Amino acid sequence: MRRIIDHEEDLLVCAEADGARSARFAIRQTIPDAVVIDISLDHDDGIELVRDVRAHYPQLPILVFSMHDEAIYAERLLSVGANGYMTKQACGEQFLLSLRRVLDGGIYVSDVVAHNMLRRASARGGPIPADPIDRLSNRELQVLRSLGKGMSTRETAQSLNVSDKTIESHRQRMKAKLHLRSGAQLVQFAINWSVTKIPAQARELRSS
């Protein structure tokens, strides 16, 4: 991404960060015109980082650039403060288009996501979503991702800066929403969901 951005005459990368804490520090030090955030951070949660950056910098454009399925994450990230969502499968030209769009004060999502958002807006008050994942709240989706990565309740609580009891409460609600009877079934569901929702290209990169 840095090579793509620095190749443009009107764009320049002023800082890079490998986690939420270093990202917050870099933003304070460099005062960027926009930030690009990956929601899959090694030891932190990118959704919480987007929420935190938006709370402290209301006018700062945020573009999320992620390998995760936009059908699941795009609307959720917009709801917590992102200005755009771009998948890593997109080409360099699309990435630059999305970055310039949010720099200009606009919102960027794919045509498919935009269509789904309009369809859902017009159908509010209709039936419960067919996809059970759509029934989960943003925080419950974060917990599901953590379970899919093999994180324990304590590890998940620490990464989200909440108590173990809060995570357990989320797990109980998730079991009810997903019609699962036990914690073991929930963990298995999370693992299966995590594997199927990571694009094949991303899995190949991780295994190389």
Q: Is residue 203 a part of any domain in this protein?
A: yes
Tokens at residue 81, please?
């403060």
Q: At residue 35, what is the residue type? A: V
Q: What is the pLDDT of residue 66?
A: 82
Q: How far is CA 21 from the centre of its chain?
A: 17
At residue 204, the pLDDT reads: 40
54-102 pLDDT per residue, tens: 999 989 999 998 877 777 778 788 888 899 988 877 788 889 999 998 9
Claim to verify: residue 26 and residue 60 sit in the same structural domain: yes
121, 141, 165 — which closes off a domain?
A: 121
Q: Which CATH number covers residue 180?
A: 1.10.10.10
Total number of domains in the chain? 2
Specify whether 148 is located in the same domain as 61.
no
Same domain, 31 and 109: yes
User: Which among 94, 121, 148 is the end of a domain?
Assistant: 121
Is the model's pTM score more than 0.85? no
Q: What is the pLDDT of residue 124?
A: 54
What is the reported pLDDT for 118? 63
With a cut of 50, list the residues of the chain below it in pLDDT: 128, 198-208
Question: Contact, 135 vs 129, CB < 8 A?
Answer: yes
- Structural domain that includes position 56: 2-121
SS3 content of the chain, % helix, strand, coil (to 5): 60, 5, 35
CA distance 163 to 100: 39
Q: What is the pLDDT of residue 195?
A: 65
Q: What is the pLDDT of residue 199?
A: 44
Are 160 and 199 part of one and the same domain?
yes
126 within some domain:
no
Among 72, 101, 121, give the residue marking a domain's end. 121
Q: Are residues 22 and 84 in the same domain?
A: yes
Residues 19 and 98 in one domain: yes
For residue 2, the surrounding DSSP H or E stretch is helix 2-6
